[in-house]
Chain A
Amino acid sequence: MTWKQVFTSSVGKKLVMGFTGIFLILFLIIHVSLNACIWANDGGKMFNAGAHFMGANVVPRILEIGLFAGLILHIVQGLMLELSNRSKRGIAYASDYGNRGSKWYSRSMGILGTLILLFLILHMSDFWFPNRAHQNFVLGEEIDLYAKMKTTFSELWVVIVYVLGCFSLGYHLAHGFQSAFKTMGVHNKKYNQMLTSIGYGFSVIITLAFAMMPLSFYLSWLN
């Protein structure tokens, strides 16, 4: 079995989804922890210091390239798998199978992923792109990201779109977290039950923590 055969097989493609998915989860942990610094409520001093470390330091900026590679792989592979899987039925059933044995969000990973993708386009054009453009895409001076958050999240529609984006991510992870471990071969019952519980907990925490950020600005919980 050559590498090409392995990674173009259905199981190999899923392995790519699982590994990149876990990689993105690790990124989310860093992202949410750093952003939580806004709640230091110090006018953004702590948050901007953290953001500055990530944006003006060579190591995180190299890791950023890996993050993009992983994200693009996950998105392209995910959308291709979704389209391929959808084409396998042939003639559709007249009566719907329904929910027996599966959750709606486990059957909607492609749609949830697409919603996350749309959200990411908006999100990156709000923060990442203006900031990197200001740096001329090298390691230069950054904009005041805390102030940028404040203005961005003063608009109700933006806040609503962000909260919906966070919930799409939450449901994507509610299935994806445990699914990724199964894809990587964890079959022992005691680990699977544990990972499913951790996955639900993680999804809820990630969703609420991220969703609270735009709300905190919009509802003026921060000074």
Chain B
Amino acid sequence: MKFDLNNDKLYRMEHYNMNLTVKVWRQKNSKDKGGFVSYQVKDISSEMSFLEMIDVLNEKLIVEGAEPIAFDHDCREGICGQCSLYINGKPHGPWMANTTCQLHMRAFKDGDTIVVEPWRAGAFPVIKDLMVDRSAFDRIIQAGGYISVNTGNAVDGNSLPINKDHADASFAAAMCIGCGACVAACKNSSAMLFLSAKVSHLALLPQGEPERKSRVLNMVAQMDKEGFGACTNTGACEATCPKEISISNIARLNKEYLFSSLTSDK
């Protein structure tokens, strides 16, 4: 599905209300087996966001004395990477280049059944309901996603010439918000798109140069340790990424890895 404003199946601009069946994965805690529970939600506005629809459902559950559905969210404006949700077979739902918090209910029509699952990956264990533990990503960043900065006076920003193409490619890679949708979409549960965005972001800038070799080697080692799969270049990640991180970053990571492993001293 392309980003197509004329496709009224995806973008119906006039306001309408709908009744829906929402099938949600419920799981008490990481030990619980979990399972799907179906809920009926009524009078949902097409102008609501997907998370607002769940808010409405949760209000209803609270009034009924039931446990509300746990899900991750923070900024609700598509920048923090906290929201997740695998909606009808797509991480972040049916729209392209979009986060779940920016998915609006006009993507659905009256009478639809929506299946909502957590991200599924051994490296992202479910904490509760739709919330998964993505701290594996933090540990990957800790393994090498940083640069050394000298103390002392700040140097003039313009004293360091940077190739414009590299700066642009680096910025595009730095757009990654660490949401994990790439892992959720990949048949191998590989974290390579995320990792390649972080490695490319720093490898393309002079500031990333001091740790260039150890960074990629250590971050890949940490990714493997966390239990993510290997990349087979299928392309599902790139098509799902809310920030449109290009799969060419993965090839760049492979180059960095090959070069660093051949030339590192250890």
Say if the beta carbon of A12 comes within 8 Å of chain B: yes
Indicate if the CB atoms of B252 and A93 lie closer than 8 Å.
Answer: no
Total A-B Cβ pairs within 8 A: 157
Say if the beta carbon of A97 comes within 8 Å of chain B: yes
Say if the beta carbon of A94 comes within 8 Å of chain B: yes
Indicate if the CB atoms of A12 and B261 lie closer than 8 Å.
Answer: yes
Say if the beta carbon of A220 comes within 8 Å of chain B: no
Minimum Cβ distance to chain A for residue B46 (Å)? 22
Which segment, of A2-10, A58-66, A68-76, A208-216, faces chain B? A2-10
Which segment, of B65-73, B76-84, B140-148, B231-239, faces chain A? B231-239
Q: A109 vs B232: C-alpha distance in the bound complex, in angstroms?
A: 9
Indicate if the CB atoms of A101 and B234 lie closer than 8 Å.
Answer: yes
Interface residues of A in 1-34 (CB under 8 A from B): 1-2, 5-6, 9-15
What residues of B have a CB within 8 angstroms of the CB of A6 in the complex? 261
Say if the beta carbon of B106 comes within 8 Å of chain A: no
Indicate if the CB atoms of A1 and B261 lie closer than 8 Å.
Answer: yes
Minimum Cβ distance to chain B for residue A8 (Å)? 8
Name which residue of chain A comes closest to B123, CB basis.
A88
Indicate if the CB atoms of A95 and B115 lie closer than 8 Å.
Answer: yes
Which segment, of A115-123, A127-135, A148-156, A179-187, faces chain B? A179-187
Say if the beta carbon of A223 comes within 8 Å of chain B: no
Interface residues of A in 185-219 (CB under 8 A from B): 185-189, 192
Given contacts A9-B224, A183-B254, contact A192 B248 (CB under 8 A): yes
Indicate if the CB atoms of B117 and A2 lie closer than 8 Å.
Answer: no
Indicate if the CB atoms of B224 and A89 lie closer than 8 Å.
Answer: no
Q: A175 vs B234: C-alpha distance in the bound complex, in angstroms?
A: 8
Say if the beta carbon of B223 comes within 8 Å of chain A: yes
Given contacts A1-B217, A5-B221, A97-B89, contact A183 B233 (CB under 8 A): yes
Given contacts A15-B258, A107-B187, contact A91 B90 (CB under 8 A): no
Given contacts A2-B266, A101-B238, contact A185 B36 (CB under 8 A): no
Indicate if the CB atoms of A93 and B86 lie closer than 8 Å.
Answer: yes
Given contacts A93-B86, A107-B187, contact A101 B239 (CB under 8 A): yes
Q: A179 vs B254: C-alpha distance in the bound complex, in angstroms?
A: 12
Indicate if the CB atoms of B235 and A101 lie closer than 8 Å.
Answer: yes
Given contacts A95-B117, A187-B255, contact A89 B122 (CB under 8 A): yes
Q: A193 vs B183: C-alpha distance in the bound complex, in angstroms?
A: 25
Q: A183 vs B236: C-alpha distance in the bound complex, in angstroms?
A: 16
Say if the beta carbon of B207 comes within 8 Å of chain A: no
Indicate if the CB atoms of B251 and A186 lie closer than 8 Å.
Answer: yes
Indicate if the CB atoms of A85 and B266 lie closer than 8 Å.
Answer: no
What residues of B have a CB within 8 angstroms of the CB of A97 in the complex? 89-90, 185, 187, 236
What residues of A have a CB within 8 angstroms of the CB of B149 in the complex? none
Minimum Cβ distance to chain A for residue B190 (Å)? 8
20 example contacts (A-B, Cβ-Cβ < 8 A) are as follows A1-B266, A12-B261, A84-B230, A85-B190, A88-B227, A89-B189, A101-B237, A101-B240, A102-B187, A102-B235, A107-B187, A109-B232, A175-B234, A182-B251, A184-B254, A186-B255, A187-B251, A187-B252, A187-B254, A192-B251
Chain B interface residues toward A at CB < 8 A: 1, 36, 86, 88-90, 115, 117, 120-123, 125, 185, 187-190, 192, 217, 220-221, 223-224, 227-240, 247-261, 264, 266
Report the 5 A-B pairs with minimum CB-CB distance, sorted nearest first.
A101-B239, A185-B255, A187-B251, A85-B188, A95-B89
